Structure 1
């Protein structure tokens, strides 16, 4: 296997989103986006209880992209204007296609808040190409135990195939564009080589731990993100300690991006139309 060279290494510094402090590896001053991935937030781990629950996001709209949640720890309730309501638990993935417009709300379940616990997850914004920005909205929720998993020869690397495919196993998420998403768990001393599609832009994000990717060290609180060049067949991962990583790759669109708040379109006129359509109720309705 010819290993991909590394284009950029990025940090995952904290930013404030209202009362919530979370890590934002994309976008930063150095990395605007990794087309088609336009935002990556790593929230938590937070200790949630009845006296501390800042992560209860009331109804809000989206248009033009796919907001995705990989829940690492905890329990969240999802509701949306399509009538979906589901409890997302540790290891589950919710993949929302906002398309022409959806209103959703998410936050820790009442039971989880009452008993208290740790909440942690990844919120990813995956762009949609211009010809799919106004498609019908859709919602998918896949449980942790339902994903296909690949285990390395040394039994110390476990790869959950969420979307796309790897080593003959397919993800359970139906995607609008050519995308791969894997959650990778590495034990100390674990080692594996993972194939890449060289027509994709690809990245790997370290949630926790300490690993070597090719010859580059990723360590929490230091460097946590690698963007690869499109010049090889894959990368190697070696665990220095017990670690968890998210791998993402997608076919780039190379289109103009105009974003404002919860909307990601191709120009400012489309943003104004999204604002108007939301005010007129064209994205549906979701009670508090």
Structure 2
């Protein structure tokens, strides 16, 4: 396998998102997006036992024009939305939501967060949707850890969320071609990951340290953006590590973003704001 070269290393600096500290390797001044991936947020928090989980986390808010996706690493996330979806996904699971024409949702800790240690660790990514799907019907897909196919190797375990790895297909259905893998490696393990040559690709290290063949050492909290000049990447863990690998066919369309809306033009963003104010994205009353 011809290994891809590394385009750049992006460190996940801590930023404040409406009072919530998150690590954000992209977007930055260096890179606006890694098409079709618009942003990556890594967030860890300890939920105080004095706080009602129904009032913690992120309250009702709208989205239009893209897919917000949450990967749960510790604890869980209680998802509610204006399309009457109501589910909790725990550690090792994924919540995938195609916002399409518009939806309201909330993201809270589960009612039993304290019984599970009180710590919530998640990664959220925003996946862009092409123009033809931006006004499609919203769709929510919860995926628990035990529903996620696993490929085991020599001292590593790989969850296939969507796309295909070694003939194993991920269950999440996406509107554009994607490959998303969750990889847990013990020190000394090596994993070769084939990536379709037309896909843009980035991997994010939640912790530990790895060696990327042809590049060198990478520490936790860094994202590695690859060039599209090879058939995949080879990763060797120098320390125990957790990795999220994102790859996808680029959409290559104009992007206009404002807050929770991702459209193609500023006019479409203004229309999204107006539709939200008029209640056209639904109403979410949490139980």
TM-score interval, smaller chain: over 0.9
> Offset of 1:148 from its aligned partner?
1.2
| Equivalent runs, 1:227-242 vs 2, <5 Å | 227-242=225-240
> Offset of 1:276 from its aligned partner?
0.9
Distance 1:271 1:93 in 2: 28
Two-structure CA RMSD over aligned residues (Å): 1.5
- Residue pair 2:75, 2:117 contacting (<8 A) in 1 also: no
> Offset of 1:244 from its aligned partner?
0.3
> Offset of 1:114 from its aligned partner?
7.4
Aligned counterpart in structure 1 of residue 254 of structure 2, from 256, 259, 266: 256
- Residue pair 1:73, 1:90 contacting (<8 A) in 2 also: yes
> Offset of 1:159 from its aligned partner?
1.1
Q: What is the SS of the residue equivalent to 1:110?
A: coil
Distance 2:285 2:270 in 1: 24
Is residue 150 from structure 1 mapped to residue 151 from structure 2 by the alignment? yes
- Residue pair 1:50, 1:116 contacting (<8 A) in 2 also: no
> Offset of 1:116 from its aligned partner?
5.0
- Residue pair 1:204, 1:246 contacting (<8 A) in 2 also: yes
> Offset of 1:220 from its aligned partner?
1.9
1:180 alignment counterpart: 179
Gaps in structure 1 of 5+ consecutive residues: none
Distance 2:27 2:283 in 1: 30
- Residue pair 2:93, 2:148 contacting (<8 A) in 1 also: no
| Equivalent runs, 1:1-288 vs 2, <5 Å | 1-44=1-44, 46-51=45-50, 56-113=57-114, 117-152=118-153, 155-214=154-213, 215-220=215-220, 224-288=222-286
Residue correspondences, number: 283
Distance 1:115 1:197 in 2: 38
Distance 1:218 1:139 in 2: 34
- Residue pair 2:4, 2:228 contacting (<8 A) in 1 also: yes
TM-score (norm 2): 0.95
Distance 1:231 1:55 in 2: 44
TM-score (norm 1): 0.95
Q: What is the SS of the residue equivalent to 2:124?
A: strand
